[in-house]
Chains A and B, each alone.
Chain A
Amino acid sequence: MGSKRIEVVSESMFYTLMAFLHGEYSGVEIASMVEKLTKGRVRLGPATLYTILGRFEEEQILMETRTEGRKRIYRITDKGIQMYHDEHERLAQCLADAATWEEESK
């Protein structure tokens, strides 16, 4: 079945992409990494996690490299890295805009 492109990169998606920049991981490892990275602020519910993994794999943002017992191990693709950097740039721009605006408001 053909799929629609992911139009909005949500917070959970962004942190998932970020976590994969360090290497190859399973879904469970990613969930705990994100929770640790955000000091518990962002938690990936199991359905959210597996929906992200499923859609990212479908969109070739992630690819499965191997299985370890029950776990499927993924790595980020070049498309995924690009997606991360695009979103990073957008968020950085947002923060820069906010800083400029706050500076001008003083």
Chain B
Amino acid sequence: MKYCYKRPTFDFYDTVAMECWLSDMAKKGLLYTGNNLVYFRFLKAEPQNICYRVEPTTNDTLEPSDEMLSAYTDAGWEFVTNQGNQFFIWKSTRPDATELHTDPIVQSESYHRLCKKLTRTAAFTGLSVIAIFAIILGGFLVSDRPVTLFITSPLYIFLAVFELFIVAQVVQQARSALRIKKMLAGGFSLNHKKDYHKEYRVYRIMNVLSLLFSIAILVTALLTLTTDWRKSTVDVAEPLPYLSLDLIEESKEFAWAEPAFMFDSDIDYNNYVDYSWTPLVPDHYEISQRGAPQSHKWPDDSGYYSPSASTEYYRLAFSVFAPALFDELMELHLWKNEEYTIYEPDAFDRTVIAQDEYMTHLFVQWGKQVVYIRYHGYADLGEKLELLANVLSSQ
């Protein structure tokens, strides 16, 4: 026996569409035998004219009683299977079979339990999504850097949008069942010949979008997990988007700090690079550099002069986020109670240099690139902007 599996292209809870679809499948030689939440299983056979009826159950039983089975059989119907404890599926090949329901008002009563369940599910799912949105929104509201959080952790947003698809689906299910119940309660019998292809065009588009979105979330999650790395700077082969400390210093006395390995790690925590990827920030580097102590001391006699630099580099997918990211970096790294000498050289799209004794903060925005460098040393970063432009233009 050969089976094939298909997925309905309409709402699962539109029982009339389901009946028509199962009959159409039988005409193609595919006889329905059962289903799970995703796929319907069909036995391959000769094409047949089979009439199906999808009956909501009126209690939690998974099979019709013997008495019921006998009465339905006498009327010309054969039990096919159950769909959970929600539906019994019946089929008939007899043209003289008695219609299962002969009174639409009574039939509407059979949808009572199902509608109640689906309405509850829709309400619960809706409330859950509101709660998830509130948590995500709360996270952004309490964050000092909402734009940075948004572009570096977009999975939360993707998941929230995915939840919206789920809500749309459960609402659609409840609407389908309620619409049928309302029609029956009004005394109208069901039309068992329905053009479900035409009616569910939007539903199919939504289904495809939901599927594509699920794939996008999965791929994003996988890429995010697998593309992040941390390495010692000397181990990075590709050109890095930063000003190397030896180029900033331009001093014969400059030497890199001795490697500092922590625990069993083979990463030099004096000079290392962090890389991460998200769809909105395809390149995000955090580069830490430290020079070795030199022969002369800092002017405040706090120890031997040892320059260091930290670089945050963002290459954004969309330049629209760049100004806000720039502002958030300034907000984060320039302390309000500190007095800085601030100037804005006419370079890149926007450049801000803030100096506080021997600490220099350089903020640069250039198209989709945003860079922040914190440098501790004597050199003037304002004189290194051309060098930085060369580095950034090669990215």
Contact = CB atoms under 8 A, between A and B. Distances in A.
Interface of A: 1, 3-4, 6, 8, 10-13, 26-28, 31, 42-52, 54-55, 70-72
Interface stretch (B38-46, B100-108, B343-351): B100-108
Contact of B102 (A3, A8, A45, A55): A45
Contacts of B72: 46-47
Given A46-B71, A55-B58, A12 B112 contact: no
Top 4 A-B residue pairs of the complex, sorted by shortest distance between their CB atoms? A47-B100, A10-B105, A45-B102, A12-B103
Interface string B34-72: 000000000000000000010100110000011110111
B71 A27 contact: yes
Contacts of A8: 105, 185
B67 A12 contact: no
B94 interface: no
Q: Which of B67, B103, B105 has the most chain A CB atoms closer than 10 A to its own CB?
A: B103
B110 interface: yes
B75 interface: yes
26 contacts: A3-B113, A4-B112, A11-B103, A12-B102, A12-B103, A12-B105, A13-B103, A13-B106, A28-B70, A28-B74, A43-B98, A45-B98, A45-B99, A45-B101, A45-B103, A46-B72, A46-B77, A46-B98, A47-B53, A47-B101, A47-B107, A48-B101, A51-B107, A52-B109, A72-B65, A72-B67
Interface of B: 53, 55, 58-59, 65-68, 70-72, 74-75, 77, 98-103, 105-107, 109-110, 112-113, 116, 185
A71 B70 CA distance: 10
A46 B67 contact: no
Contacts of A48: 100-103, 106-107
Given A10-B106, A12-B103, A45 B67 contact: no
A47 B112 contact: no
B58 A54 contact: yes
Contacts of B74: 28, 46
B110 A51 contact: yes
A51 B58 contact: yes
**Residue among B67, B101, B113, B116 having the largest count of chain A Cβ atoms under 10 Å:** B67
Interface centre among A10, A28, A48 (most CB of B within 10 A): A48
B293 to A, nearest CB: 77
A49 B71 contact: yes
Contacts of A3: 112-113
Given A46-B77, A47-B110, A52-B106, A70 B70 contact: yes
A54 B88 CA distance: 15
A27 B67 contact: yes
A8 B106 CA distance: 9
A51 B106 contact: yes
Contacts of B112: 3-4, 55
Nearest to A72: B67
Nearest to A16: B106
Contacts of A12: 102-103, 105-106
Contacts of B99: 45
Contacts of B77: 46
A72 B71 CA distance: 12
Contacts of A55: 58, 106, 109, 112
